[in-house]
Amino acid sequence: MDVCGNCGAPLEVSEDGECRWCHAKVRGTHSRVHRVGGDQPGIRWKWNWRLSAIAAVAVALAAGLGVGISGYVGSHQAGPPTATAHGPSGAAPAVPPQSTELQALRQDFGPWRQLTGQLTGSPALLLLESGSVYASQRWTVSPAAAWWAQDLGGNVTSLAGSGDHATITDADGISYTVRVNQAFIISSNPGTVLLISPGRTVMSMSLAQATAVRQRLRG
């Protein structure tokens, strides 16, 4: 912007060539912008551009170095191996509910002893499993306990015998001999406790109910 060389005001010249403000014969000059530090715009712009370029290169190098270090440390860091899927769906093999219930039964009503021949271990609770008979050495379930009801679950498919003994066949077609009024459990259905009444009726209650009313064996 042109200014008066005499008074410094914005230059407005009359027809006589005089400054409108101080009426002096003047000629226009370009004002100079004084900057702090006296540096020139061109030089500052050049330095700013160079500094920006250097900073961009430094950031790119640091990012690349960080990625490289992270990958190296991750590949050499100690820890458990990555889990791998098994089977088409990647799910672990399912455990049948009966297996878990049978394990709990063995633990809760154990220890057990295996019976041989025609021994029934009366009045101990019996576990019938794969043709073998096991008697609890600690627990019995009284035939007079509450909650006994006629079994409608088909746990015993056939019943024979007379007197104090009964020969039963389970759902897998395996036969066992038990005493009348002696509680027993078939391993294929560990959640149900069974009993043959004197009238040759199959009675049952849930394992939870039997646990609530079970009694310790004497001596």
Q: What integer pLDDT is reported at residue 86 of this predicted model?
A: 43
Helical H segments across the chain, by residue range: 41-76, 97-109, 207-213
Average pLDDT score over residue span 176-193:
95
With cut-offs at 50, 70 and 90, classify the pLDDT of residue 96: low
What's the rounded Cα separation, in Å, for the pair 219 and 217? 7
Model pTM? 0.56
41 pLDDT more than 60: no
Q: For residue 69, give the amino acid letter.
A: I
* 118, two tokens: 């025609």
199 pLDDT more than 70: yes
Q: What integer pLDDT is reported at residue 185 of this predicted model?
A: 97
Calculate the CA dihedral of residues 185, 187, 191, 193 and round it to 10 degrees: -10
With cut-offs at 50, 70 and 90, classify the pLDDT of residue 107: very high
173 pLDDT more than 90: yes
Q: Where are the domains of the chain?
A: 2-63, 98-216
Among 136, 128, 134, residue whose Cα is nearest residue 175: 128
What's the rounded Cα separation, in Å, for the pair 179 and 199? 13
98 pLDDT more than 70: no
78 pLDDT more than 60: no
With cut-offs at 50, 70 and 90, classify the pLDDT of residue 13: confident
